[in-house]
Amino acid sequence: MATLGDIGVSALINILSAFAFLLAFALLRIQPINDRVYFPKWYINGGRASPRRGGNFVAKFVNLDFKTYLTFLNWMPQALKMSETELINHAGLDSAVFLRIYTLGLKIFVPITVVALVILIPVNVSSGTLFFLRKELVVSDIDKLSISNVRPESIRFFVHIGLEYLFTFWICFMLYKEYDNVATMRLHFLASECRRAEQFTVAVRNVPQISGRTIADSLDHFFKTNHPDTYLCHQAVYNANKFARLVRKRERLQNWLDYHQLKFERHPEKRPTKKIGFLGLWGENVNSIDFYKQQIKEFDKQMELERQKVLNDSKSILPVAFVSFKSRWGAAVCAQTQQSKNPTLWLTDWAPEPRDVYWRNLAIPFVSLTIRKTIISISVFALVFFYMIPIAFVQSLANLEGLERVAPFLRPVIELGFIKSFLQGFLPGLALKIFLYILPTILMIMSKIEGHMAISTLERRASAKYYYFMLVNVFLGSIVTGTAFQQLHSFLHQPPTQIPRTIGVSIPMKATFFITYIMVDGWAGIAGEILRLKPLVIFHLKNMFLVKTERDREKAMDPGSVDYPETLPSLQLYFLLGIVYAVVTPILLPFILVFFAFAYLVYRHQIINVYNPRYESGAAFWPHVHSRIIASLLISQLLLLGLLSTKKAANSTPLLVILPVLTLSFHKYCKSRFEPAFRKYPLEEAMAKDLMDRTTEPDINLKAFLADAYLHPIFRTFEEEEMVEVRVDKVRVDRHQTNAETAQTREDFSSSSPPHHVHRHSSPPHHSYQPTSPPQDVYLHGIASQYEYNLSSPPHYGYHYEAEPWTSRD
């Protein structure tokens, strides 16, 4: 294994590469041309409209103020300037609490590192004789600092046990304090929020089909009967698969039109033409701009028909609805109680934020949910333990012989020496690399199949799956040699008490590997995160070829939110490593400390300047963070038990058996003490906010406020949609007032034709979560209580009485 010198070299390389990334970042970010890549949050926020440094033409793209190059690390103090309250206002509670995970890491590991290094290193080193479990193991300097150096049956193991106790109590204490903090922050955040649609709304699934009655009728009847004092109105969800397909087709046509118009603008002398036959290869030559305008016009008519059909056909109403109440109390009551005698009907739950709704999963029936969950559980298990099988299969196909067999004509090329050696080195790894790259996407698709209703839930579930994968394949997989499948096989054929021993014995030996892992993934990786190389390239490409208006530029720079499904599990892996190695090889701890401190700075900077949260869940992920740190504690206790039992310190077993029991009791207590704050909404709170509302604004028109809050995004014009988003995100003003504005915008849309309409389809609205593939079935969502209104005044009603139709716009 590696010596201290090897570690030093590795550290140097990683520090240098991290430094290089930081330097590149420092240079790139002060160029005005990159301002929208490194500070998009300020643009979205309205805090900045154009790069700060202007002046002459060159200065618009390149920073000429050489003084700023000298202070290239000044983003670090800047990142720390913002207070937590400001941060919550700036980026939401999710982001602020996400940063608290890093500070929690620091709070937990700084004292542990100090104590472990001061006490354990002398204890381990001074044991004198280095004892090896097996002869074939190579000595390493790191091992001399670890528990491996302690003689079997030594009394010194009680120091390790004592410290394990101490660390467990310290970690539990910090976890308790932090859970308390976060729960208070969440309740405070929820309490200080303005009036928001989801506070009054409950999502109802599995509305029963009663013959001779529409869904809207039975909804109205049921809630008027059972919540007579609080029921306000409901919004039905429509099945609009066909309409969604039309919308997508129209977008494609619009793209073509944009493309041709752009071409025409650049070369006004050459009128673009198009053959109308198959794939544009033959047929009559027509003016392509006119052709697409004509097509779009026809499409709009077709869409209007389809829209009417969807709204008129009672069969297209899904048995799902968003039911709104007159008070938060009413919604809290309805969300937390069972409604019907048949517990599979009228399932109520809190409605997610409108922008957090994952519309496609709304129509999944109850029975299928159980089956879906079972199938996905089995699939995740299979994925975690057997993912190597298909990859090995693909690898076996993707070798040179396989390639030659499939494509014999390539043989002469392949047989060339350098190409052959390149392919031989490259091909086998390719399948695995591709798999690991698409793994988060696979896990997200699995979560979607499970049928959760909110994007935030989907991300949490995907994050859990990724954590299991990392735990088995990165942590256990690195400690125990062989694939996860082989491990599973050997674990099934070992006595249960043997498993912690098998793993425990290998733990100290793998310390150097994990130190290297932390440096590569944790140090250099985080430095790569701040550089944002991929978004940088993509932004400039888009900027060069697509962007025409300010709005398009905003869409091109859209940074999205922090990638929780990937970030949270790897963060939890660092906690696991720190806790497991705290008493075994304490020399690993400083590396983890550096990671937590550096990552904290980087993510603070990114959250302040870059990311724009897609939703606000009010730190709903915290219970998972908490319970996974508890799980890490349990794992570390079990592994120490196994390790010590191989050290013949068997009389310590009873001492170490108590610890997991205590930890589990602590977890149970925390669960009952704090978790309800994240899952339920106390009536006391709801009533207090209701009363405050009633005194401050007694004459609010809640019905108007809630009217189209849960309208399917596909059903809105894009103008409306963005207005709503901005409103929900930042301003959070009274919906009642802005409703008039929305109507105004709608009017604008049909009567005027602003120039930025041309490119408004160039990038997808950041509402829809489907990363690459177009939605298979999207559900149209309307307001049943305003049914007549919708029919008579669709967004496109302008067509019918407007003097200027679509075609006359440019």
- Tokens (6 digits) for 479: 């400690």
Give the integer Cα–Cα distance in Å for 427 and 46. 48
| Min CB(201)–its own copies separation in Å | 17
Task: Give the CA distances from residue 245 to residues 240, 251, 425, 765, in Å, rounded to whole numbers and listed in that order.
Answer: 9, 10, 44, 16
| Min CB(476)–its own copies separation in Å | 17
Taking the least distance from each CB to its own copies, the nearer of 329 and 467 is: 329
Taking the least distance from each CB to its own copies, the nearer of 122 and 343 is: 343
| Min CB(190)–its own copies separation in Å | 10
Residues 586 and 116: beta-carbon distance below 8 Å:
yes
**Residue 675 binding its own copies, by CB under 8 A:** yes
| Min CB(644)–its own copies separation in Å | 17
Residues 473 and 384: beta-carbon distance below 8 Å:
yes
Taking the least distance from each CB to its own copies, the nearer of 255 and 340 is: 340
Task: Give the CA distances from residue 77 to residues 95, 177, 602, in Å, rounded to whole numbers and listed in that order.
Answer: 19, 27, 11
Task: Name beta bridge partners: 323.
Answer: 202, 234
| Min CB(89)–its own copies separation in Å | 22
Interface segment toward its own copies; rule CB under 8 A; list 148-156, 453-461, 485-493, 574-582: 485-493
Ranges within 523-552 binding its own copies (CB under 8 A): none
- Tokens (6 digits) for 407: 């494509």
Sign of the dihedral through C-alpha 98, 103, 105, 107: negative
Ranges within 686-725 binding its own copies (CB under 8 A): 687
Taking the least distance from each CB to its own copies, the nearer of 340 and 768 is: 340
Taking the least distance from each CB to its own copies, the nearer of 391 and 677 is: 677
Residues 7 and 515: beta-carbon distance below 8 Å:
yes
Task: Name beta bridge partners: 285.
Answer: 275
**Residue 262 binding its own copies, by CB under 8 A:** no
Give the integer Cα–Cα distance in Å for 425 and 398. 12
DSSP sequence for 616-637: --SSTTHHHHHHHHHHHHHHHH
Please name which of 535, 645, 702 lies closest in space to residue 37, comparing C-alpha atoms: 535
**Residue 81 binding its own copies, by CB under 8 A:** no
| Min CB(494)–its own copies separation in Å | 5
Ranges within 396-455 binding its own copies (CB under 8 A): none
Place of tokens 């994968």: 469
**Residue 488 binding its own copies, by CB under 8 A:** no
**Residue 665 binding its own copies, by CB under 8 A:** yes
Give the integer Cα–Cα distance in Å for 585 and 210. 66
Task: Give the CA distances from residue 450 to residues 206, 239, 362, 370, in Å, rounded to whole numbers and listed in that order.
Answer: 16, 20, 12, 9
SS (H, E, C) 167-188: HHHHHHHHHHHHHHHHHHHHHH
Task: Give the CA distances from residue 97 to residues 87, 100, 357, 579, 682, in Å, rounded to whole numbers and listed in that order.
Answer: 10, 5, 22, 21, 21
The secondary element (H helix, E strand) that includes residue 201 is strand 201-205
Q: What is the dihedral of CA 330, 621, 432, 592, to 10 degrees?
A: 180
| Min CB(100)–its own copies separation in Å | 20
**Residue 479 binding its own copies, by CB under 8 A:** no
Ranges within 729-768 binding its own copies (CB under 8 A): none
Interface segment toward its own copies; rule CB under 8 A; list 48-56, 118-126, 334-342, 419-427: 334-342
Angle at 64 between CA 61 and CA 66, to 5 degrees: 140
Taking the least distance from each CB to its own copies, the nearer of 308 and 377 is: 377
Give the integer Cα–Cα distance in Å for 430 and 437. 10
Task: Name beta bridge partners: 237.
Answer: 781
**Given 493, 534, 654, 788, the residue binding its own copies (CB under 8 A):** 493
Distance, CA of 414 to chain centre: 42
**Residue 685 binding its own copies, by CB under 8 A:** yes
Taking the least distance from each CB to its own copies, the nearer of 494 and 701 is: 494
Taking the least distance from each CB to its own copies, the nearer of 333 and 454 is: 333
Give the integer Cα–Cα distance in Å for 237 and 123. 67
**Residue 108 binding its own copies, by CB under 8 A:** no
**Residue 217 binding its own copies, by CB under 8 A:** no
Interface segment toward its own copies; rule CB under 8 A; list 142-150, 452-460, 574-582, 663-671: 663-671
| Min CB(97)–its own copies separation in Å | 18
Judged by CB under 8 A, how many residues of this single chain contact its own copies?
51
Ranges within 183-202 binding its own copies (CB under 8 A): 187
| Min CB(641)–its own copies separation in Å | 13
**Given 128, 412, 417, 496, the residue binding its own copies (CB under 8 A):** 496
The site map against its own copies for 368-407 (x = CB under 8 A) is: --xx-xx---x-----------------------------
Give the integer Cα–Cα distance in Å for 334 and 326. 12
| Min CB(364)–its own copies separation in Å | 14
Give the integer Cα–Cα distance in Å for 419 and 34. 38
Residues 427 and 399: beta-carbon distance below 8 Å:
yes
Ranges within 350-369 binding its own copies (CB under 8 A): 366-367
Taking the least distance from each CB to its own copies, the nearer of 359 and 674 is: 674
Give the integer Cα–Cα distance in Å for 610 and 81. 16
**Given 338, 421, 744, 751, the residue binding its own copies (CB under 8 A):** 338
**Residue 333 binding its own copies, by CB under 8 A:** yes
**Given 78, 209, 312, 497, the residue binding its own copies (CB under 8 A):** 497
The binding site for its own copies (CB under 8 A) comprises 187, 222, 225-227, 229, 329, 332-333, 336-341, 343-344, 346, 366-367, 370-371, 373-374, 378, 491-498, 661, 664-665, 668-669, 672-677, 680-685, 687
